[in-house]
Structure 1
């Protein structure tokens, strides 16, 4: 078995204003890192465009219409202080959704063991009717609904280790009994959600706030005590990862102090749970990470472990 990498040049056409942290250079840095010889065995695939019906697994038609009508004919348009559209943003966002859906299909069919979706814009902050936090559509939540509705899965686990709480994924799956959503994130930090008492409509949401300036030792202890046992009891049929690398000690937007090796450790343990419960089926998708050097290194470590675990 092997690891698939889904991406597309269209994701470079989502252009944010100069100085914006969610920039084209993020994806260029990742492609540069994953172009090393050690990654030659990656099964590289183009992320397809999704259909409207895919987006509507989580968002109403009104939301799709709003994004479509808001895309500018030139330059940029701000949807809020953080979230921008440019010419090509909608197509890029459709690639991000489509890449996640194609990755789920490839993993569920047994074509590949696991997959990483290197697309942008990210998705875990987008709520039903609200684009926010650089995100337009709920990429991972849509992938989860696709797995449930079209592959018949009854237990899908979403693990979000981005430094910011995945408020969008939580909102989109809050009342979904077939989904387990677990988020570790810095608190206090934007968007201010993700407290432990937010437990979902079916006790299916688990939030683990981490204090500013804490490091990988606390993260590892927290996951060993509070995340891995929950996932183990859940016995997922598929694990989805919101892979944000902005908890890295070098990231400029937050104050957690994880190392590159911490991301590798976390990935290895998630894959071990997948191997135990769902034949190793994991789909990971890019979320945050804004120091380009740290992002490239942490992504490379993450994908290296996916590849390693796909051959065990």
Structure 2
């Protein structure tokens, strides 16, 4: 259920890719989608396990708002890598629509589709209202929506409404989280859990411990299965990697300032553009344990340390790097560290 094809491993676990389909300064969504296809094709060849895309809205630097459409595009341009949502923000949608969309994807690409679910809006409140037309449905309704979705995919749904396609299909559902809420729910329902440690590092260990301690075996899984997010920016030297990482740091800085910008090109000295307070805030989110920047040796040590600290069953890597060739090289370096 959780793997589609034999993959290479790192420290005996699979590695996967989280792509935000970045729109870089001076470019557009068309170019972003072409780059995502190239990235997916390369990481498939290099032995990564899955390729996930995340739902975000009203963000000029992220093109993956129509997540299920982009998943279909990536799956259609690859051969065997699992492709999925990391994740769909379920409160933004009618549950039936998501069941039909992912039922369609699974029917087109059997055995390759993952459905990761989040309960955040993936946007601001105004955008959430534009998506939903009402804010009556919120994160507190998330458990009910997950139940509905599971029912739509079951062989004999309780609901009079059927998801066609969708009914009877085995589509792995993951719960995603950056706090303990989804950890509790994933444990209760016996589902795989993915924690957003790449931007919420402080809560990683407590959430994973809670998930494992409270896990209840289900028809889906007998044992807990936890995946953790990690940012990796790898280059030939520590110095070049730090230079490339300035784009990612500026992205978080702009979010903190409330400035809507595309992914910016790297700069030599980021200390020239942020205050000490802003620097501290960004570095709190981009903790060096979960944002690993450096040479192959630095990256290897960082990934091993984080995997051993978390006991993760899988790691999913995000690399917000401005130039595609540098992004590809970063993932290639990680691939070169894998057990063949």
TM-score, normalisation: structure 1: 0.37
Q: Could you tell me the TM-score, scaled by structure 2's length?
A: 0.34
Name the larger-Rg structure: 2
